[in-house]
Amino acid sequence: MKIELLLGDEAVGLAALHAGIGGAFSYPGTPATEIFEFIAQHARADAGVSARWSANEKVAYEEALGMSYAGAGPSFR
């Protein structure tokens, strides 16, 4: 088992990936930039996780809401 030391924001990003998120959306200047960057770096495209920068918080919300409407949310198995 590999042990990795994570910062708090990185741990939140890892938890989101382990929960099976379908996508992550963020905007430049958000206080949660570290969480998004961790998800973007560790998300696997073959697992169906997309991470995209948005123009602002309204657009990020709308993109995430669209994924939710389309059923691309958490994939619980």
Considering the entire predicted model, what is its pTM?
0.77
Is the separation of the CB atoms in 31 and 6 below 8 Å? no
Q: Where would I find the beta strands (DSSP E) of the chain? A: 23-26, 50-53
pLDDT digits (tens, 9 = 90+) for 12-70: 999 998 888 888 999 988 888 899 999 999 887 667 788 889 999 999 999 989 888 88
